[in-house]
Structure 1
Amino acid sequence: MVQVQPVEGAGAAGRCGLGAARRSCDARRPCVGNACFRAGGAGMSGSVMSRRALLGTLSALGLMPQLVRAEGEAATAAAEGATVIEPKTFGVKLGDPLPFSRATLEAEAKALAAADYVPPPEVSSEWRDLTYDQFREIWFDTRNGLFRDSDSAVRADLFIAGLYQTHEVEVNAVKDGMARRVAFDLGLYDTTDRFPQLDPAGTGFSGIRLLGELVEPTVFQEYAVFQGATYFRAIGKEQIYGLSARGLAIGTTGANGPEEFPLFRAYWVEAAAAGSAEAVVHALMDGPSATGAYTFRIRKGLPTVIEVEATVYPRVELTDFGIAPETSMFLFNDLNRIKFDDFREGVHDSDGLQIANGAGEILWRPLRNPERVEMSGFGDTGLRGFGLMQRARDPESYLDFEAKYERRPSLWVEPLGDWGKGRVMLMEIPADKEIYDNIVAYWQPDAPMAAGSEQKFSYRLYWGEDAPVDGLVARVQGSRTGERVFEEGRIFTIDYAPHPALGEDISALEARVSTSSGEVKGVQVKPNPATGGVRVAATFLMPEGIPAELRVELWRDAVRVGEVWLYRWFGA
């Protein structure tokens, strides 16, 4: 009997893409296929695994050469004079080839929208009723990966449905313009002795993950996951999973009833030429209110860039919807640290919303963990980009050496083409634990989507450390707040990073500070000797129980030289 230690690497951390609710996998547990296992180590209770479980885990992680176990056992059996069992044949079974293209996908989505919505097959109750611990005992055997027996630059592992993933999805392999459906087979998966005997007819696939040569040549590593409703996530080189993206948000504000979660009911994964940096995945979206055809062109690296081409076919008129939605987690940092009795300095996958608007401004809005659900809208015409960012990159900002929040990606949305008038929407939901996704951001066009229409959107998603913006102004490095000690009011400090635009003479800088309610006093601009940048400090006197929208701008000689800092505060 041995203990298994955590495996370092992007594919071994995160929540495995098991859906929106973060109920899937704890970030501190290595992920094996769909499953995670507890590992011995600081802060974790080790669980002893059998030799069979260990070997299955190692092979699933790619830590054993193909067929080593089978060949070794066969050789031992032959030496002992026993009957030799031939090694298992690995790989997936494919159906008959059918022509496939972006045009055929759009035609299928359009035809689907003309019919009534029919939910995809649901897994049987015995698969839905598995416990979390039971579901960790089954994982995909990576030796059966899609395209593993070819020179394709991309491979795909297949998640199994069950527990939180209650619907089956179809998976297809595409090569040379022909698609072949992947047949579900429970033999594609490995289990420990503790996994119950269940009828394989009661389940199917629930999603896919892509593997490629992300860090080292010939070493295939996970870098993107598609699973759960229209959720997907990716990482850049040396990063670990954090926030997620979705295909389409419907009814997020709750203005017209509960939020609707359409789903990707089928995926098509294209084989990639040897050495190619790009992977292509297509998906068919379906839901009560809309269908859609999605194409994802994924270039791994730092950042990993996903170019999205989406065509949406509404079944009904859509007025409350979001393009390029992002979902993240923010529990606390320096701005609300006092609310949490926690040994860590900060807990979040993202710490701010950044917007490059059509007016030429770069907006920075630190995230909040509010007392009630809050919505904020940032109106714009000619949006240049937006995203939920993770700016705190120093481990000292968290002091959580297992979750490694400093390695979570930021996610920047770059519109391709003119998205017209609308607003970037930010939804902040109260949360008391880091297992909950409580932050949502998306683009809401002013114009509704008419029933029976065809709506096209294209954009790029950058999964990396920062936003790919021009960098012409100083960016906000940090924000803090606290009650004044010897006078009334609340002080806010905003630290700007060093930047040539700030100039040599700090006295030439002007801070323009405003609030939507209450008053501002004691505005100061002074050097920050700790960073070499500039600190703006201001005291706000805000009426009790009334929200105040705070705004700070930094100018020099009638030119804006810093990001526009925005924040909401409720006076107490």
Structure 2
Amino acid sequence: MIDFNRRDFLSLAAAFSVVAPLPGRALAAAGAPGLTFGPAKPFSFDWLKEEAKALSERPWQNARSPHGETLEKIDYDAFQKIRFRSDHALWADGKGGAPVQFFHLGRYFQEPVLIHVVENGEAREVLYRQAYFDLPADHPARGLPDNIGFSGFRLHEPSQKTDWLAFLGASYFRSSGALNQYGLSARGLAIDTALPKPEEFPRFSRIWLERVEGEPDRVLVYALLDSPSITGAYRFDCARADGPVMDVSSTLYPRKAIERLGVAPLTSMYWYSETNRGQAVDWRPEIHDSDGLAIWMGNGERLWRPLNNPPATVTNAFVDARPRGFGLLQRDREFTHYQDDGVFYDRRPSAWVEPVNEWASGQVQLVEIPTDDEIHDNIVMYWVPDEPVEPGRALQFDYRLHWTASEPFPAELLGRVMATRTGTGGIPGQPRPKNTTRFVVDYRGGEVGALERGDAAPVVDLSRGEVTLADSHPVVGQSGLYRAFFDARIEGTDPVDMRMYVKGKGDRALTETWLYQYFPNRSAQGRGS
């Protein structure tokens, strides 16, 4: 990693992966017009696993480009001026796969990725040529030699006017999802995130692309992951469909013991919403790529944890065994809640991780980092296995990654949390009790839409403090909307962990379980007079 902070890295990777192609160029008639390839070599996923294993038994080598002096001149603005020529796109012949364009190297992407094309069991490297790119006459990239490699690639729809999947920076990748708007990112692996030592960013050093004949929206991506601590072989079966789905198979080979291994990590941004409106300094009512963490526990329980913009970096762990799925979701799809017609937060994708092979005991970890602007990705989530990560012991993690507008497996009979709000506790018109805050949670779906007053009641647990009032009822005049609320008297400023669900007759849960972490010192609300 070069010397800039973690959030800057994430934000830059996100910004660079949506560079638009040059308009007006005719699509190529051939599968790879004008591209130059290396010699053919046998390739298979089994070979890639053996390559990753052999690499793990050798010392790690820094692959930083020797042309750093020139690449340093390709800053954010200069990078944006580089355009891949759409008439040089791979697989623009309509015979399968998706048109592929390649990303250039630059100041923030100085470790070249070697990209190959697989056909009939053989792979050929796509050799970098400056002619693939349109560059201004005085652009510093013109001083670079040929065959320097690429920094990543992206998959386009047939017209090449928009892309739907991009790999760029370390092991980061992301999709525009079902609503055609980029937002949160995924990556191959996270190492030692939020520990009191530097985080390690593994990277995809080599990539292989293979198309499936007759399937224009499906591409197989193979990747070799490398870092000082671990190597890995990845296979991504990517299908666009109505919302892109990626079947991910990964085999990992540790070089050394790893304290915190983050599997299937997701990275997002949460600044503020109706939950923490006191932190809103922008004119827009809400700004976030994701508004909550959802977990489908191994025992069948459904959890919803609204995201926070905390006063300091906070890591929360949700212990589980054989999880059925988890993800960072954007549930709020109302444009009027954001009022943003430039970057469209209401269209940002949700990402859901569905384990395929058996993931034994471990925990979903959620890392929340303070932010004061939307340009910083400040939310990270991943799975941490309990089994030790040590050299000589390969690890296998297979999962399906859904880029959706909502959960792919909703709990049909349970009410889902749609909004969380906080404010002063007590009863209007009467003296407000000191140190008391009201928490209001709205639900939709399942059976809650048919409830009447008295049919159900909230069950609330606090890590500290006292619940002084709790109730639930259908919202008058709002069909299908159900509201639960409680007042909590909380002394001091230490954070409070909260848990609530609505139960019906026979103590049956009618909603998913709402979890929340409240920071009394971040709000003047609820303190009374």
Same-fold call, TM > 0.5? Answer: yes
Aligned to 1:464: 404
Distance 2:387 2:131 in 1: 49
Asked if residue 527 in structure 1 is aligned to residue 474 in structure 2, the reply is yes
Aligned to 1:548: 496
Distance 2:439 2:18 in 1: 39
What does the per-residue CA deviation read over 1:306-360, in whole Å, with 9 as the maximum and x for residues that have no partner? 0100000000112311110000000000111112221101000000000000121
Aligned to 1:83: none
Aligned to 1:482: 423
Distance 1:232 1:251 in 2: 19
Asked if residue 32 in structure 1 is aligned to residue 23 in structure 2, the reply is no
SS at match of 2:37: coil
* C-alpha displacement of 1:149: 4.4
Structure 1 counterpart of 2:486, from 518, 524, 538:
538
Asked if residue 97 in structure 1 is aligned to residue 46 in structure 2, the reply is no
Residues 115-124 or 293-302, more deviating: 115-124
Residues 421-430 or 312-321, more deviating: 312-321
Asked if residue 354 in structure 1 is aligned to residue 343 in structure 2, the reply is no
- Say whether the 8 Å CA contact 2:246–2:402 is kept in structure 1: yes
Aligned to 2:429: none
1:164 maps to amino acid: Y
Q: Identify unmatched segments of 5+ residues in structure 1.
A: 1-17, 34-56, 69-88
Aligned to 1:212: 157
Aligned to 2:510: 561
SS at match of 1:91: coil
The alignment covers a number of residue pairs equal to 502
Q: Identify unmatched segments of 5+ residues in structure 2.
A: 1-6, 427-431, 522-529
Structure 2 counterpart of 1:251, from 170, 179, 192:
192
Asked if residue 198 in structure 1 is aligned to residue 142 in structure 2, the reply is yes
What does the per-residue CA deviation read over 1:109-128, in whole Å, with 9 as the maximum and x for residues that have no partner? 00000000012242421112
Distance 2:337 2:305 in 1: 18
Structure 2 counterpart of 1:516, from 457, 463, 472:
463
SS at match of 1:435: coil
CA separation of 1:236/1:538 partners in 2, compared to 1, >3 Å: closer, same or farther? same
User: Following superposition of structure 1 onto structure 2, how do residues 388-537 of structure 1 map, counting pairs within 5 Å?
Assistant: 388-469=328-409, 470-484=411-425, 486-488=432-434, 489-500=436-447, 503-529=450-476, 530-537=478-485
Distance 2:318 2:97 in 1: 41
Aligned to 2:99: 155
* C-alpha displacement of 1:134: 2.0
* C-alpha displacement of 1:484: 2.9
- Say whether the 8 Å CA contact 2:179–2:348 is kept in structure 1: no
- Say whether the 8 Å CA contact 1:106–1:293 is kept in structure 2: yes
Structure 2 counterpart of 1:65, from 26, 31, 39:
26
Distance 1:127 1:555 in 2: 60
Aligned to 1:311: 251
Distance 2:106 2:15 in 1: 18
1:103 maps to amino acid: D
Aligned to 1:120: 63
Aligned to 2:524: none
CA separation of 1:219/1:250 partners in 2, compared to 1, >3 Å: closer, same or farther? closer
- Say whether the 8 Å CA contact 1:544–1:570 is kept in structure 2: no
* C-alpha displacement of 1:468: 1.5
- Say whether the 8 Å CA contact 2:75–2:106 is kept in structure 1: no
* C-alpha displacement of 1:275: 3.3
User: Following superposition of structure 1 onto structure 2, how do residues 175-186 of structure 1 map, counting pairs within 5 Å?
Assistant: 175-186=119-130
Aligned to 1:40: none
* C-alpha displacement of 1:483: 2.2
SS at match of 2:177: coil
Q: What is the TM-score of this pair, normalised by structure 2?
A: 0.90
SS at match of 2:249: strand
CA separation of 1:503/1:204 partners in 2, compared to 1, >3 Å: closer, same or farther? same
- Say whether the 8 Å CA contact 2:422–2:438 is kept in structure 1: yes
Distance 2:106 2:179 in 1: 30
- Say whether the 8 Å CA contact 2:271–2:371 is kept in structure 1: yes
1:341 maps to amino acid: V
Distance 1:354 1:197 in 2: 44
What does the per-residue CA deviation read over 1:437-473, in whole Å, with 9 as the maximum and x for residues that have no partner? 1000011111111212111110000001111224221
CA separation of 1:25/1:291 partners in 2, compared to 1, >3 Å: closer, same or farther? closer
- Say whether the 8 Å CA contact 1:309–1:459 is kept in structure 2: yes
What does the per-residue CA deviation read over 1:258-290, in whole Å, with 9 as the maximum and x for residues that have no partner? 110010001000022123442100000000000
SS at match of 1:96: coil
* C-alpha displacement of 1:91: 2.4
SS at match of 1:266: strand
- Indicate the RMSD between aligned Cα atoms, in angstroms: 2.2
Residues 275-284 or 399-408, more deviating: 275-284
CA separation of 1:220/1:275 partners in 2, compared to 1, >3 Å: closer, same or farther? farther
2:84 maps to amino acid: F
1:556 maps to amino acid: G
